[in-house]
């Protein structure tokens, strides 16, 4: 989040993808979904809406699988904001 807030999106993307890699290795689904959501946010900031939507959809699928209502709602809002952008 630090690099995203500083608008250093290249570094933010690098660290989120690295974290995603480790989360996948550990099969830690919640962390995978959180990282996908964060990567989607970076792509949104970079105006790469197709990649952002892909990340958000993958994240949403995992949050639904884990039955995490607040995360489901957050991800749906991210998708909605993306579509209306």
Residue 85: count other Cβ atoms within 10 Å of its Cβ.
Answer: 9
Question: Considering its fold, how many domains does the chain have in total?
Answer: 1
CATH of residue 48's domain is 1.25.40.10
- Confidence band (pLDDT; 50, 70, 90) for 2? very low
DSSP code at position 3: H
pLDDT of residue 5: 53
Output the pLDDT for position 17: 97
Per-residue b or e along 48-83, where b marks 16 or more CB atoms closer than 10 Å to that residue's CB: beeebbebbebbbebbeeeebeebbebbeebbeebe
Query: 25: how many CB neighbours lie within 10 A of its CB?
Result: 8
pTM for the full predicted model = 0.89
pLDDT digits (tens, 9 = 90+) for 23-73: 999 999 999 999 999 999 999 999 999 999 999 999 999 999 999 999 999
Least-confidence region, from 1-5, 11-15, 40-44, 57-61: 1-5
What is the residue range of 63's domain? 2-83
């Amino acid at each position: 989040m630090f690099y995203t807030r500083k608008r250093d999106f290249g570094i933010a993307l690098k660290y989120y993808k690295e974290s995603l890699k480790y989360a996948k290795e550990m099969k830690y689904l919640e962390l995978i979904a959180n990282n996908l959501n964060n990567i989607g946010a970076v792509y949104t900031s970079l105006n790469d809406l197709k990649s952002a939507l892909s990340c958000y959809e993958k994240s949403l699928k995992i949050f639904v699988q884990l039955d995490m209502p607040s995360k489901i709602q957050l991800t749906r809002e991210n998708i909605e904001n993306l579509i209306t952008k």
